[in-house]
Structure 1
Amino acid sequence: MSHSLTPVPSGKAATSTGAVRTQAKAPQLINPPLDYAYDGSFEGLLTVLFQVYDRKSAPNSIQPLGAVQGGLFAQPVQIDTDEAMAARVWEGLLRYMDKEARTRLFHAFLSEQPDRELLIFRYADLAMRAGRDIAENYADDNVRRIAGIAQQMYREKHRMEAFVRFEKTSDGLFHATIDPDFDVLPLIAPHFTKRYADQRWLIFDQRRRYGLYYDLTRTDIVEFESSGPQRNTDISATVLDEREPLFKLLWQSYFDHVNIPERKNMKLHRRHMPLRYWRYLSEKQPREQRFEPIKNKKPIG
């Protein structure tokens, strides 16, 4: 899992305009294939790609260190992450694809698909063998899969940006806990940093045990250690701002009053707001107290 807000630092590249020109093709991988292991970061995977061509040995497998399954007669070659190599590979990809296509490779990595490393290698290798951009070569299964994953990641990113609800703690921190299908925190960081630039906030991914923390100056990755699994997405009531229950009630009351029962269409509603996101929404939680209009007021006249 990559905890980088951006994959690797971008340097000056001759292809910064996005134009992709035909380049020299990648070297032939003439040596026996190898099993590679890396630290699980995106920079680590880019370092593996560098080593594949440096060693001229195609990968049988590329596995994070925590998930390595060695064979009976061979152990994976462990590749240490080298940020300079990773940056070189990341910028070098622009010789064979535009920035949008390159970004899709990062999104494929964040998707956490079981074979994402080999998929990214095959896509990059195909582009380098062609010497040009292959983004529209949908006859190839790898291209189709990368495009499909990119669409899934976009939908998950968009829904997280739309459905995340914050709760205010007693020290003024706005907190939200999420459990997305994919590792989208690096993708939603720019949106929340820009939209909530005037308040401190924390978005915590409980499945992956890390979060984004904004301190009014910058957004950083924060990690949490836990002694056991935590399934509860709620914050303890003792740390919430005393006004938070009122805010929740007012928000629920607003949605109750703008609702038009005669126009209810639950099938369409679930299409635009799938059930798995309802846990984040205050308006979808059980009503602890029904909103009642003030009854001791009499109309004028």
Structure 2
Amino acid sequence: MTVFYYDKTINGLLSSIFDAYKLNIFPDIILGIGDIPPLFINCEIQVETHEKKYHRVWNLLHKQLPANCINMLTAVWLSEEEKSDKLIFDYIIKAIDSQFLYINNLGDSTILEIHKLAKKVYKEGHSIKQFVRFQKTKDNIYFAPVSLQYNSLPLVINHFKNRFSSQLWIIYDVKRKYGFYFDKKRVVEISLDKEIEQINKDLFHEDEQIFQKLWKNYYKALAIKERINLKLQKQHMPKKYWKYLIEKQKI
């Protein structure tokens, strides 16, 4: 059994692909540096992440793969699912070995799994666009906390940048403790010193609580009690998002 160890970055993964072809050794398992290996290993390779290595692979992929395939691989990486790195590795190896002729062959189990996992990440990204709720702070920054299954936030930042280009805003993934801040010119990645689940109401802009109450009353007024279908509601508005939906919180 052959094991590759890498630094758990996308550039490290691409460097491992370069090393595999250079050494003509292809791993059965890919692990992070420091991970506990399985029993009965006969070959261990420590991959060094190097600019020349990953640039060679990146350039080849961007030259040969259509944009939708590059986007799929990005989504699978952002899924953070166990063994998603090996899935990406195997997909790229298959693409290179077939001279990029069968990259959409859904009869292949690896390619099928790539499509399925990417679809899940895309779906969550689409949900973020629908269910993000900004709250205005005293600093005139619109803050929106989210808690996501996948690390899909980077996929939708351009949407919010274009949609809310005249406002200061932060979208923050409380699960991964990082987010993005837009200053009306550029988006920068940020990380807050303190753990955060909800904004302290003392930090709200003076108008925010008024608008929240109006929105909750409007939501309540629209609802027809006799026609409430919680099962259907959860289907179209997954319950995992309710915590940050202003209209789902008590008045």
1:157 aligns with 2:125: yes
In structure 2, do the counterparts of structure 1 residues 221 and 83 end up closer, same or farther at CA, with 3 Å as the change threshold? farther
1:29-61 CA distance string (max 9 Å, x none)? xxx8342221x2222222222222222221233
RMSD, aligned CA: 2.3
5+ residue gaps in structure 2? none
CA contact (8 A) 1:161 1:188 kept: yes
Which of 221, 243, 254 aligns to 2:218? It is 254
Task: Name the CA shift for 1:105/1:240 in 2 (closer, same or farther; >3 Å).
Answer: same
Structure 1 residue 95 displacement after superposition? 4.9
The question of whether the paired residues in 2 share the 8 Å contact of 1:193 and 1:214 is answered with yes
Structure-2 change in CA distance of 1:135 and 1:159 (3 Å): same
Residue of structure 1 in register with 2:79 after alignment:
111
Q: 2:168 aligned with 1:203, yes or no?
A: no
Offset of 1:76 from its aligned partner?
5.5
Could you tell me how far 1:175 is from its partner in structure 2? 0.9
Q: Does the aligned pair in 2 maintain the 1:176–1:202 contact within 8 Å?
A: yes
Q: Is the 8 A contact 1:205 1:211 kept in 2?
A: yes
The one-character-per-residue Cα deviations of 1:95-150 (angstroms, maximum 9, x if unpaired) are: 54322112211111111111011111111111111112424312211111101011
Which TM-score applies when normalising by structure 1? 0.76
Q: Percent identity?
A: 32
Q: Which amino acid aligns with 2:136?
A: K
Which deviates more from structure 2 when the two are superposed, residues 96-105 or residues 81-90?
81-90
Q: Is the 8 A contact 1:166 1:176 kept in 2?
A: yes
What is aligned with 1:69?
36
The secondary structure found in structure 1 opposite 2:26 is: strand
Query: Which residue number corresponds to residue 284 of structure 1?
Result: 248
How many matched pairs? 250
Which structure shows the higher helix fraction? 2
Quick one: distance in 1 between partners of 2:149 and 2:96? 31
- Check 1:252–1:47 CA distance in 2 against 1; reply closer, same or farther (3 A cut): same
Aligned to 2:108: 140
**Other-structure match for 1:238:** 202
Q: CA deviation at 1:272?
A: 0.8
Q: Does residue 44 in structure 1 map to residue 12 in structure 2?
A: yes
CA separation of 1:214/1:64 partners in 2, compared to 1, >3 Å: closer, same or farther?
Answer: farther
Paired residue type of 2:112: R
1:233 maps to a residue whose letter is: E
Report the residue type matching 1:69 in the other structure: I
